[in-house]
Each structure stands twice: as structure tokens, then as C-alpha cells.
């Protein structure tokens, strides 16, 4: 999704499941939160917050500003929870995953920090059929499946340098692409066991992406 707001191009846009909240990354250090109900009435009800280090920016026109300083590195990925439109996960170069509660009035609070990666977190993905279960992949060649509510790891996959992870529609499986071997692997999402793999058909320097349709 691509959106223009006040002459800025916002990329990496993610709508919440019911579509009333929109999160966008205009740069590595900021996340814009929009109320889409207000947006489509052309009355932007928008707060933007930084989850890296933030100085006092003041206010920018009609845009409200909230200060959050939990992440200490660039934000790399954001995803809304499938079960709760007011819960957002963010991955960061500070090696952590943050879980945010965002009210319909765009008040924000960090409610959980998942810190087990030793290098930057590249991607986060919520489980589609089990609440509070999250997959994270990092530059430390590890993939974790988290029980977010308990702040604990269900299982860990080591020595897999993944550039992209994706659950199947019912989340019984997930796919991950490997930077080093240039392969795509299918894992059993319940156990983390690898089931099959295949060489990627594409060449080039861009990190491979994957989507699992089964």
C-alpha cells in the first residue's frame, strides 16, 4: 500500500483487520498511525510516534505527536494482530520485538517486549488462527515462535538466515526463504520441523519474498 500525506510518500502500509486503523512507515524511525474513518472524511485524525530515540519535535500543523522511546534502533517491520485490531507488533534493529496497544483514539502504549534475537529483527508475522502467537525472523539466522501473552518462546529454529517468512492461510505451515542457500523451506508451524524445500527460481540481488497459499 502507498499513501501520500502532507507531501510525504508513506510506504509499508498495513491496515488492521477491520480496516479502521492504518500503520505506515515513512522512514526507518517513525510509524504513522491513521484513523481511516477520519481519513476518508478528509479530516486526518493522525498521531505519529517514534519508537526509536526521540527529541522534542513539537507539533506539525494538525498532526498530534506522541513520544514513545522503547525501541533504540530503526523499525524494520510492523504487523497488526488478526484477533485484536488494537494490537500492533513492531520489529527493530535493536534486536527486539515490541507489542503495542493502540486505542481507537490513537493513544499508544508498549505492553510487551520480546527480546531474544542477538541481531536485528527483520520480520514479524502474527498467527492467523491462534491469538497471541507471533513469528519473528532475525539477521542472527534464527526464527522464533512466541507466546506473546506469556512472553515465552514456543520453539526456536537456528541456522536459518531468512529474508522472508509467511504463514499459510490456516497457519498450519509457514514458508521461509534463505538468503544463503537461495532456497524456500516449508515448516510445520506447530513443531518448527522442516518438511520440504526447493531452490528459488529467481536470480538477482533483491531479497526473495514468499507467500504461502495452501
Note the pLDDT of residue 30.
66
Note the pLDDT of residue 44.
40
Question: What would the mean pLDDT of 123-147 be, rounded to a whole number?
Answer: 96
**Residue 66 pLDDT grade (very low, low, confident, very high; cuts 50, 70, 90):** very low
Note the pLDDT of residue 176.
93
Look up cell 513520544; give the residue. 67
Note the pLDDT of residue 106.
77
User: Which option is the CATH number for 116-214: 1.20.1560.10, 1.10.3720.10, 1.20.1740.10, 2.120.10.30?
Assistant: 2.120.10.30
The separation between the first and the last C-alpha atoms of the chain, rounded to the nearest angstrom, is: 24
The β-bridge relationship of strands 87-92 and 75-80 is antiparallel
Note the pLDDT of residue 204.
64
Question: What would the mean pLDDT of 150-155 be, rounded to a whole number?
Answer: 97
The angle subtended at Cα 211 by Cα 208 and Cα 214, nearest 5°, is 145
Strands (E), 68-151: 75-80, 87-92, 96-102, 108-115, 121-126, 133-138, 143-147
Residue 133 vs residue 178, higher pLDDT: 133
Give the neighbor-by-neighbor strand order of the sheet with 152-157.
121-126, 133-138, 143-147, 152-157
For the chain, give the percent of residues with pLDDT over 70: 68
**Residue 161 pLDDT grade (very low, low, confident, very high; cuts 50, 70, 90):** confident
Question: What would the mean pLDDT of 149-155 be, rounded to a whole number?
Answer: 97
User: Where in the chain are the domains?
Assistant: 116-214
Q: Which one-letter DSSP state was computed for residue 159?
A: S
Note the pLDDT of residue 54.
32
- Give the predicted TM-score (pTM) of the model: 0.78
Q: Tell me: the pLDDT tens digits for 68-113?
A: 457 888 888 899 999 998 999 999 999 999 999 988 777 889 999 9
Note the pLDDT of residue 148.
98
Note the pLDDT of residue 37.
60
Note the pLDDT of residue 74.
84
Question: What would the mean pLDDT of 38-58 be, rounded to a whole number?
Answer: 41
Residue 30 vs residue 180, higher pLDDT: 180
Amino acid at each position: 500500500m502507498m499513501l501520500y500525506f502532507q507531501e510525504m510518500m508513506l510506504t509499508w502500509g498495513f491496515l488492521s483487520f477491520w480496516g479502521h486503523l492504518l500503520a505506515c512507515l515513512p522512514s526507518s524511525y517513525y510509524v504513522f498511525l491513521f484513523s481511516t474513518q477520519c481519513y476518508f472524511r478528509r479530516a486526518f485524525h493522525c498521531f505519529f510516534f517514534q519508537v526509536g530515540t526521540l527529541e522534542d519535535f513539537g507539533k506539525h500543523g494538525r498532526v498530534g505527536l506522541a513520544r514513545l522511546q522503547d525501541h533504540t534502533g530503526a523499525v524494520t517491520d510492523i504487523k497488526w494482530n488478526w484477533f485484536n485490531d488494537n494490537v500492533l507488533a513492531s520489529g527493530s534493529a535493536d534486536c527486539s520485538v515490541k507489542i503495542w496497544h493502540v486505542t481507537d483514539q490513537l493513544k499508544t502504549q508498549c505492553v510487551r517486549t520480546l527480546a531474544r534475537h542477538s541481531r536485528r529483527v527483520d520480520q514479524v508475522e502474527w498467527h492467523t488462527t491462534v491469538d497471541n502467537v507471533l513469528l519473528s525472523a532475525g539477521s542472527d539466522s534464527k526464527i522464533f515462535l512466541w507466546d506473546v501473552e506469556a512472553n515465552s518462546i514456543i520453539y526456536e529454529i537456528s541456522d536459518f538466515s531468512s529474508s522472508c517468512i509467511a504463514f499459510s492461510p490456516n497457519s498450519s505451515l509457514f514458508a521461509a526463504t534463505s538468503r544463503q542457500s537461495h532456497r524456500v523451506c516449508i515448516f510445520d508451524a506447530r513443531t518448527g520441523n522442516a518438511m520440504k524445500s526447493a531452490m528459488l527460481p529467481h536470480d538477482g540481488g533483491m531479497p526473495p519474498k514468499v507467500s504461502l497459499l495452501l
